[in-house]
Each structure stands twice: as structure tokens, then as C-alpha cells.
């Protein structure tokens, strides 16, 4: 089950991170990176909506699970904190990368959740490429940590 959770989170971070980095608005310094990443993100356009909805649900569930966790930050505080940040980035990049699908899923901006999604897009839309880059960095960190943990090295 651990491998399924790992692969699901990694796939969501990579697909949505690539899409957000390639197509999102952001600082001018990321423009050369966007040109490089754009060909890799173009074939993903058809599945971004589904991945976005899954990312919002999966990230929200993990944030809730973290908040109600009895352990808190006692053991492996850095790892748990990075996990929380990863879940928050997953929710953010899920909404930003698949805005149209997520907004349609929650209804037009007339509904309460639709207004929230619309506000979220307006608030974070200008840094979408930076959030996408953050998602890719977290995916790389997650992969390295997973490989090290399987080798008996714990960070």
C-alpha cells in the first residue's frame, strides 16, 4: 500500500507540476524554463483535469489526516513538515493546473465552493509557474527520500 501512495503522490506532483510550470503565469526568470518544459507538458493536456481533481481530494485528505494526527511533530519532524507542505502544494497545484475542470466539478462560481475555487485561482494564478516548479522539486525530494529510506537511510 505504501508503494501505491508513493506512486500516486509522485505522479500527481510531476504531472501537475509540469503543466503548471509550462503553462502558468509567473516571474520572467522562469520563462526559459517554461520553454524547455512546454513540449513535455503538451501531451498531458487531456488528463490534467482528472489529475487536478484527484490532487485536490488527495491533498485535502492528507492535510486533514495530518492535522488530526495524534503524533503531531514528535518523530521525524522535518519529514512530516515536508509532507504537510507537499500536501498543501498538491492542493494548490491541483486547483491551478486544472482550474476549468475543478470549477466545473464544484459548479459555476455561483456556489460557495465555486467561489472559493475562483478566488483561489485569482489569488495564486500569478505565481502558478513557481508553484509548479515547487511541486517538481518536492517530487524529486520525495523520490530521493523514498530511495534512501529503502536503503536504510532515514532523513
Grid cell in block for residue 119: 478566488
Of the candidates 72, 82, 77, which has an alpha carbon nearest to the alpha carbon of residue 139?
82
Full-model pTM: 0.81
Rounded Cα–Cα distance for residues 97 and 57 (Å): 14
Q: Is the pLDDT of residue 81 over 70?
A: yes
pLDDT average, residue stretch 130-140? 91
Q: Is the pLDDT of residue 145 over 90?
A: no
Tell me the pLDDT of the chain averaged across its residues: 82
pLDDT (0 to 100) of residue 75: 62
Grid cell in block for residue 51: 489529475
Q: Is the pLDDT of residue 72 over 60?
A: no
pLDDT band at 152 (very low <50, low <70, confident <90, very high): confident
Residue 93 CA to its chain's centroid (Å):
4
pLDDT (0 to 100) of residue 65: 85
Q: Is the pLDDT of residue 1 over 80?
A: no
Amino acid at each position: 500500500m505504501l508503494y501505491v501512495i508513493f506512486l500516486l503522490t509522485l505522479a500527481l506532483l510531476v504531472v501537475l507540476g509540469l503543466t503548471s510550470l509550462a503553462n502558468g503565469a509567473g516571474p520572467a526568470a522562469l520563462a526559459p524554463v517554461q520553454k524547455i518544459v512546454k513540449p513535455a507538458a503538451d501531451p498531458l493536456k487531456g488528463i490534467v483535469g482528472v489529475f487536478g481533481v484527484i490532487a485536490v481530494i488527495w491533498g485535502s485528505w492528507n492535510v486533514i489526516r495530518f492535522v488530526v494526527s495524534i503524533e503531531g511533530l514528535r518523530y521525524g519532524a522535518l519529514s512530516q513538515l515536508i509532507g504537510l507542505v507537499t500536501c498543501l502544494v498538491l492542493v494548490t497545484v491541483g486547483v491551478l493546473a486544472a482550474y476549468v475542470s475543478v470549477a466545473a466539478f464544484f459548479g459555476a462560481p455561483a456556489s460557495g465552493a465555486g467561489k472559493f475555487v475562483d478566488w483561489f485561482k485569482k489569488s495564486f494564478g500569478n505565481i502558478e509557474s513557481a508553484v509548479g516548479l515547487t511541486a517538481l522539486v518536492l517530487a524529486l525530494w520525495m523520490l530521493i527520500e523514498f530511495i534512501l529510506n529503502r536503503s536504510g537511510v532515514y532523513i
